[in-house]
Amino acid sequence: MDNQVIILMIKLAAAASIASILSRSSRFLSLLLREERTLIERLHLTSGISAFCAAGSAVRIFTRGYAAADMCLEGSLLAGIIGGYISGLLTGVLCSLPAVLHGEYLAMPLYAAVGVLGGLLRDLAADPEEVWRISPFFDLSLYRLLRYPQDRGRSLFQIAGLAAILVAELMRYTLLHLFGGHFIFTLYDPDRGWANTAVFITTVFTVSIPIKIWGSARNERLLENKERMLVQARLSALSSQINPHFLFNTLNTVSSLIRTDPEKARLVVYRLSSILRRLLRKTDNFAPLRQELAFIEDYLSIEMARFGDKLRFAKQIDERTLDCQVPAMLIQPLVENSIKHGLSPKVAGGTITFESYFERRPEGLRLLLSVADDGVGIEDERLSSILEHPGIGVSNVNERLKVLFGANYRLSITSQKGEGTRTTIEIPA
């Protein structure tokens, strides 16, 4: 009995180890994420489970020891529960091959039938997600069945899941007695009687543990995917707040030129179409700084049509920074703010200066981008809370940087009343 208990405990540890190894495979985990699988994907799922089960059976046979390594029945049932009839049936056939070659001729029909049983259990689930909630603790399912009658279907499925595992082991136990222990491998001790219930309990946990491990890994990956989609949606929302603001201002410029200077209005429309084509082509969150500067120059050519000589643009650029990847549409809102809030109220207009350069910091090389104007400046009271107002260009830029870089960025705004404003962005190079 002591030897049997040790074998069963080793079997549980081996089941947990193999499940953990498979869950670390990106390919296997991606298959677990899909509820509807193609035939090829089912074959991949089958090969992953059956390879470990067949190897365990071979170890048990050819080393004449390590009986705990044989988990073909449990693996076949798991494949059926997760992948359906085809995966369960094929896993049962493939993992039984070493046993059949060793003279255990009942292994193939037993494991194949158990795999189909797993597929039947999967079909009973009203929601495919329910298979990941199968638990050995039936008392909780019984409590929910009595306490929450509205969730009766879910509770009954959990009980059915436990019953299917016990039925699979009962099938092996029945074959053992029908054929006198021949043609099939088991861990039962014929002299122990009721003590063999430990084998049934071990089978329940050997099936349940991988389900819980894979379910946990699957939930983590799903959560990561949802967070990634949320970040993408948030970035798209922030970008959509920036682009219409720019578009409406440009259309106002065109409308003011149509009557006074139709030729200049035509040129502005041409520049606008060039900008819109670039915006429509933009699919990535990052773009080379060189491309962003070209966009800014197109934008400023439109604004200069409105301001004339009152608006000037200067650049101080380290040529090495031009190929750096920066967040797309990052600079334009800052330039627009300088025009709208800094230079537009100033009768004489002014100059916008853009700078890009590298600085070496303890955390590594950093790229600094600066947009400065010599406009009217910002009042101290408004400057202290400018990043807290949604819908303002610089606030949206700050939100985008926060989504993209977390805490690994810096945005600072300095301003002197009547002298101008400088906005500096620091990001990893």
Which residue type sits at 252? N
Residue 406 has a pLDDT of 82
Hey, what are 251's tokens? 């259309």
Q: What Å distances lie between residue 233 and 226, 328, 336, CA to CA?
A: 10, 15, 24
Please give the full DSSP string across 9-73, using - where no structure is assigned. HHHHHHHHHHHHHHHT-HHHHHHHH-SS--HHHHHHHHHHHHHHHHHHHHHHHHTT--GGG--HH
pTM comes to 0.61
**Which whole-number Å values give the CA distances from 142 to 135, 152, 180, 206, 311, in the listed order?**
12, 10, 37, 22, 76
Phi, psi of 241 (to 5 degrees): -75, -30
Kindly report, residue by residue over 144-163, the tens digit of the pLDDT.
667 767 677 778 888 889 99
Strand (E) or helix (H) holding 193: none
CB atoms within 10 A of CB 19: 20
- Helices 393-405, 197-258: axis angle to 10 degrees equals 150
Region 371-380 average pLDDT: 88
Q: Which of 86, 154, 150 is nearest to 115 (CA)?
A: 86
pLDDT in tens, 190-246: 766 666 888 999 999 999 999 999 988 888 888 887 777 666 666 565 555 455 666
Structure tokens that stand for 241 in this block: 């707040």
Q: Which two tokens stand for residue 297?
A: 């120059």
Q: In whole numbers, what is the pLDDT of the chain averaged over residues?
A: 84
- What band does 141 get if pLDDT is binned at 50, 70 and 90? low
pLDDT of 129 higher than 70:
yes
The three-state secondary structure class of 367 is: strand
Angle at CA of residue 293, ends 325 and 409, nearest 5°: 40
pLDDT band at 272 (very low <50, low <70, confident <90, very high): confident
Mean pLDDT of 390-408: 77
Mean pLDDT within 32-50: 85
Confidence of residue 400 (pLDDT cuts 50, 70, 90): confident
CA-based nearest residue to 134, from 174, 168, 95: 168
Sole residue written with tokens 């200077």: 261
Burial of 428: CB neighbours in 10 Å, binned 0-12, 13-18, 19+: middle
Contact of 89 with 115, CB cutoff 8 Å: yes
100 compared with 336, residue with greater pLDDT = 100
Q: How far apart are alpha carbons 176 and 112 in whole angstroms?
A: 17
Write out the two tokens for 345.
């109220």
- Indicate the range of 67-76, 206-215, 342-351 predicted with least confidence: 342-351
Query: Alpha carbon of 104 to those of 170, 182, 185, 186: distances in Å?
Result: 18, 7, 7, 11
Closest-CA residue to 171 (of 120, 242, 214, 114): 114
End-to-end CA distance of the chain: 65
Q: Kindly list the structural domains of the chain, giving each domain's residue range(s) and its CATH number in brackets, ordered by start.
A: 2-224 (no CATH), 307-428 (3.30.565.10)
The CB density around residue 62, as the number of other CB atoms within 10 Å, is 11
> Mean pLDDT, to the nearest integer, of 265-286?
73
